[in-house]
Every structure is written in structure tokens, then in C-alpha cells.
Amino acid sequence: MTTVRIPEDWPATEEQARAVQDALRERVVLDEPGPPPGTGRVTGVDVAYDDARDVVAAAAVVLDAASLDVVAEATAVGRISFPYVPGLLAFREIPTVLAALGALPCEPGLVVCDGYGLAHPRRFGLACHLGVLTGLPTIGVAKNPFTFTFDDPDTPRGSTSALLAGSEEVGRALRTRDGVKPVFVSAGHRVTLANACAHTLALTPAYRLPETTRRADALCREALRKAYAD
């Protein structure tokens, strides 16, 4: 487990954080297809908070994209690096997530975030932010639609509907299990929306949420418990 300090130049105010988003958003790449689904490696990242101690734990879990077997994993624990502000949640997590990714013994391949990419009020969610900073292909798979609207997808697995900000498609509601509540997929960096949905389906053979997210969620919670175990 890696212990993380908040970078000295990290934004301290909402105004500073939004300025960073504005500057980095111009570097998001959306015209690359990304790696073919079911090939290479795919890595899930997730975080768990201990607000009483002002601490966040991050986990990165690398899976073989074909078998979904675990290839490698790493964790990091650090101070929460920004106050809770809707639309700026990435600033609370990124230093620790970057540390977990950096501690991996292998290349992560595609990174799947438990959250948003373009499906974000400023079109720069965690998946976009992380992708731009690392250069890695990234997607966001969220549990809810945030502030956006959508029609319920058809019942069968694989059905989709547009996730809309007015008339703009910022992602898709994707049914990963027959008749089960959809997840909300958006492109982050260097992956198209269509391929982001295909990757999500490849990662959900048995459950609503991707295996990357399920395993990273369990690992970051375990890391948080171990960090302060008596």
C-alpha cells in the first residue's frame, strides 16, 4: 500500500479547480476507438472514504480482458485532497488514484472508472481527467444518471438509450442484465462511446456492474480497513 501526500500545487478553491478543468478539457481525445473489447488488460479504479479521519483509499485492479482473471492489484491511502463539491469530485480522488495506478507492476491497459467521463456538467468527469493526466484510454461507468435524462432502455441485456443534456448525447444508459436497472456509460479519453458500451458488456457477464468496479470497490474498502486496523 502506498501512502500519498496532497500535491503542493493542488487546487484549493472551486475557482481554481474549475480553471484546471477548463484547461485540461481541451486535451480530451474522442476520435480514437480504443482497444478492442475483450483483449489485452483492463483496470478498474475505485475509492473509499473515511470522512471522520479525512482519508481516502484508492484501488487499481488489473484484469485479463478475455478471462477476467486478476493480473495485478495495488492500493494507496491519502488525505482527501478537496472539499465535497458536486462536479468537482475528481479533485478529492485523483492524487490517490494516480498513486494506486503508479504502484501497479504492469501496464493497466483500458481504465474503467466508477463514475463519469463526458457525462458531467462541465464535460470533464473523473474518467476524462484521469485519461488526460495519464494518457491512458478511459471510460466511465456510473450507477446513476447524475443530472441527465434518458428513456428506459428495452428489457434485454445490451439495450441502450441516449443519456442527454438537452439534445446533446453525453453517454448511454446500458442494460447489462435482462430487466435490471441500467448503468450509465460515457467516454473518458481515447475511447469512443460505442466501444465504451462494448467494453462494459464484456465486463458484466454475471452482474449489473463491471467486474473491474466490483473488484476495485472491494479492494479499496479492504485497504481502508487495514490502514486503521487496531
pLDDT at 230 over 90: no
Q: What is the predicted pLDDT for the residue at 227?
A: 87
Strand-strand pairing, 168-174 and 183-189: antiparallel
Phi-psi region of 40 (alpha: psi -120 to 50; beta: other; left: phi over 0): left
Q: Are 177 and 157 a contacting pair, CB within 8 Å?
A: yes
Residue whose entry in the numeric block shows the C-alpha cell 428489457:
155
pLDDT at 152 over 60: yes
Q: Are 208 and 174 a contacting pair, CB within 8 Å?
A: no
* Nearest Cα residue to 75 out of 101, 50, 100: 100
Average pLDDT over residues 56-79: 97
10 Å Cβ neighbour count for 52?
Answer: 7
Q: What is the predicted pLDDT for the residue at 168?
A: 97
Q: Give the predicted TM-score (pTM) of the model.
A: 0.95
* Nearest Cα residue to 141 out of 102, 69, 199: 199
Q: What is the predicted pLDDT for the residue at 201?
A: 98
Q: What is the predicted pLDDT for the residue at 140?
A: 98
- C-alpha distances in Å from residue 117, one per residue of 68, 114, 122, 125, 210: 23, 10, 10, 4, 16
pLDDT at 34 over 60: yes
Question: What does the alpha-carbon distance between residue 59 and residue 57 come to, in Å, rounded to a whole number?
Answer: 7
pLDDT at 5 over 90: no
Q: Is 31 annotated as a binding residue?
A: no
Average pLDDT over residues 159-179: 97
Q: What is the predicted pLDDT for the residue at 219?
A: 98
Question: What does the alpha-carbon distance between residue 14 and residue 119 come to, in Å, rounded to a whole number?
Answer: 20
pLDDT band at 229 (very low <50, low <70, confident <90, very high): confident
Q: What is the predicted pLDDT for the residue at 22?
A: 96
Task: Share the mean pLDDT of the chain.
Answer: 96
pLDDT at 169 over 60: yes
pLDDT at 143 over 90: yes
Query: Residues 216, 219, 225, 226: is their CA dihedral positive or negative?
Result: negative
Q: What is the predicted pLDDT for the residue at 15?
A: 97
Question: What does the alpha-carbon distance between residue 202 and residue 196 come to, in Å, rounded to a whole number?
Answer: 10
Q: Which residues contact 143 (CB under 8 A, 6 or more apart)?
A: 114, 183, 184, 209
Which amino acid is residue 135, in one-letter code? Answer: G
Question: What does the alpha-carbon distance between residue 122 and residue 61 come to, in Å, rounded to a whole number?
Answer: 28
pLDDT band at 1 (very low <50, low <70, confident <90, very high): low
Q: Is 51 annotated as a binding residue?
A: no
% of the chain residues with pLDDT over 90: 93
- Kindly give the interhelix angle for 126-134 and 14-25, rounded to the nearest 10 degrees: 60
pLDDT at 95 over 60: yes
